[in-house]
Amino acid sequence: MLLAALALALALPACADADDRRRSLQQRAEGGEPAAMFLLAHMLADGEGGPPDAAAAQAWLARAAELDYPEALQELALSEPDKQRADALMRAAAHALAHRAHAAAKH
């Protein structure tokens, strides 16, 4: 799991149950936070904090990828059956990750 998603997960209340964490991530994802979208996608896929919802999980993962979230792009690439599309997604993930590293180096 990447650092942004891990930091977000650690920021969620430790005493909250899975339902509360899922609701919190839902709010943050709806607010446009890609790390929340990524984590929410996994909670939805795994049925953590509620029933599994593969379609919603895929939609949140795709939305995070549209915002150039590297981990989402990479995950989509790894599950993409079309080799050319998978390569394009992996290149986009590498590019987004390089931007993240560059931004972090400035601080």
Q: Is residue 44 part of a domain?
A: yes
- Please report whether residue 2 resides in a domain: no
- Predicted model pTM: 0.83
Range(s) of the domain holding residue 25: 18-106
Q: Is 19 helix (H, G, I), strand (E, B) or coil?
A: helix
| pLDDT, tens digit (0-9, with 9 covering 90-100), for 46-86 | 999 999 999 999 999 999 999 999 999 999 999 999 999 99
60 within some domain: yes
Is residue 8 domain-resident?
Answer: no
In whole angstroms, what is the distance from residue 86 CA to residue 83 CA?
Answer: 5
Counting the structural domains of the chain, the total is: 1
Residue 88 lies in a domain: yes
Those residues with Cβ within 8 angstroms of residue 103's Cβ, 6 or more apart along the chain or in another chain: none
Q: Does residue 48 sit within a domain? A: yes
Domain annotation covers residue 93:
yes
